[in-house]
Amino acid sequence: MFTSDTLKNKTILITGGGSGLGLEMAKKFASLGANLAICGRTESKLENGAKEIASEGDGQVETYVCDVRDYDRVDEMISEIVTDFGDMDGLVNNAAGNFLAASEDLTPGGFKAIVDIVLHGSFNCTHCFGNYLIDNERKGNVLSIVTTYAEDTGSAFVLPSACAKSGVLTMTRSLAYEWATYGIRLNAIAPGPFPTEGAWTRLVPDKSFEEKFLAKIPAGRYGEPDELANLATFLMSDMADYITGECVVIDGGEKLAAGQFNFIDQLAPREKLKGVFNAMKETNKQ
Ligand code: HXC
Ligand code: NAP
């Protein structure tokens, strides 16, 4: 589907691009011709990530120590990127924080930490980048990584993340309309579980939990980072130039669990179920 020049000459900032899914997207984008800027709070993580990214392509790779919660630093970083690369075309809001907690035990500081990283961080980056594009009459593209619980359901035990990710999705749709006139596109990806060290150390406490987690996915497996990176590539590329305000779920069907009769599959093996369905068909004929 992609050719080696799919993202040629595009300069893309991925927040939290030094690890996990951010790094996987960065490597894919680099292999398809993009120049990459990655930011995060930990310099060593960024330096290691940058080496991996650089080995995937010929484009420029730069790192920026930046806490996305700090608007002034984000604004400064966008200026630094434009100076270092000459321009900037895309932003992936990927940096996030999360932990499991009973909501009655959350401290205001715990709630604030996550909402600040996820919602304020995504706003800060989008706002600074958007203003750069508008001031310079350039087209651009913002992709935010949300979660499947950002829409419809929310989720128990990750309240700050659920609130913040919903906000990011709403920002995406609001600005997709408001900024279309400037040639700025905004989309989101809602991944189901993709094992990363960052997520698993904070959200998957033990083996039995892990088994239950996996059993909820109809596809019977977790997502592969490359699958997410391919989707992100498409949405960041000119092939998706007419797509804006969209949120694409990539979760092996996990989000569809609410389907009214879905539980039947867990009652018996499929062949046995078919026997029951056929018996009912015969009965109903009479
Ligand atoms: C309850 C906690 C907590 C925990 C921190 N806090 N960890 N509360 N349970 N496990 C509270 C602290 O008590 C403090 O509140 C406040 O949060 C800030 O804590 P700090 O340690 O100062 O925070 P900070 O250094 O800013 O670190 C942020 C962090 C940390 C989010 C807490 O985990 C982090 O750096 N995470 C980044 C990476 C990450 O989380 N990746 C996973 C993304 S996965 P008080 O009130 O005491 O001051 C994801 C996927 C979801 O989002 C979907 C999966 C399928
Ligand atoms: P991860 O490896 O923990 O990545 C998070 C990255 O964000 C890290 O590189 C981290 O680096 C950076 N970061 C955190 N706080 C930051 C801050 N304040 N400022 C700048 N950078 C910050 O997690 P992941 O699993 O790859 O998750 C990536 C994205 O996918 C997140 O948006 C997450 O919500 C989403 N997602 C993941 C899954 C999954 O199953 N893995 C599922 C659904 C959605 P530093 O700590 O060095 O700053």
What are the CA-CA distances from residue 204 to residues 26, 153, 193, 210 (Å)? 25, 20, 11, 6
Q: How many angstroms does the Cα of residue 284 sit away from the middle of ligand 2?
A: 54
What are the CA-CA distances from residue 4 to residues 91, 92, 214 (Å)? 20, 20, 34
Give the span between the Cα atoms of 19 and 253, in whole angstroms: 26
Tell which one of 94, 98, 149, 189 to mutate to probe ligand 2, the residue whose CB is within 8 A of the most ligand atoms.
94
The whole-number pLDDT of residue 1 equals 82
Q: Is residue 145 part of a domain?
A: yes
Q: Is residue 272 part of a domain?
A: no
Question: Which amino acid is it at 183?
Answer: G
Pocket of ligand 1 (CB under 6 A): 96-99, 101, 107-110, 113-114, 147, 161, 193, 198-199, 202-203
Q: Is residue 73 part of a domain?
A: yes
**Mean of pLDDT values over 208-227:** 96
Q: Is residue 186 part of a domain?
A: yes
The position carrying tokens 């990530």 is 49
Q: Is residue 39 part of a domain?
A: yes
> Which tens digits make up the pLDDT trace of 115-155?
999 999 999 999 999 999 999 999 999 999 999 999 999 99
Whether 145 is in the pocket of ligand 2, judged by its Cβ within 6 Å, is yes
Q: Is residue 212 part of a domain?
A: yes
Q: Does residue 28 surpass a pLDDT of 90? A: yes
Q: Does residue 286 surpass a pLDDT of 90? A: no
Question: Which residues are annotated as catalytic?
Answer: 149
Q: How many angstroms does the Cα of residue 76 sit away from the middle of ligand 2?
A: 21
User: Tokens at residue 61, please?
Assistant: 């790779």
CATH of the domain at 132: 3.40.50.720
Q: Which domain holds residue 172?
A: 11-252
Give the span between the Cα atoms of 178 and 168, in whole angstroms: 15
> Which tens digits make up the pLDDT trace of 63-96?
999 999 999 999 999 999 999 999 999 999 999 9
Q: Measured over all CA atoms, what is the biggest interatomic distance in the chain, rounded to whole angstroms?
A: 79
User: Tokens at residue 239, please?
Assistant: 């092939």
For residue 243, name the pLDDT band (cuts at 50, 70, 90): very high
Q: Is residue 259 part of a domain?
A: no
Q: Is residue 27 part of a domain?
A: yes
CB contact at 8 A, 12 and 85:
no
Q: Whose CA is nearest to atom 27 of ligand 2?
A: 21
Q: How many angstroms does the Cα of residue 265 sit away from the middle of ligand 2?
A: 34
Backbone angles phi, psi at 252, to 5 degrees: 60, 20
Which ligand gives the minimal distance to the CA of 99?
A: 1
Say how many domains are in the chain.
1
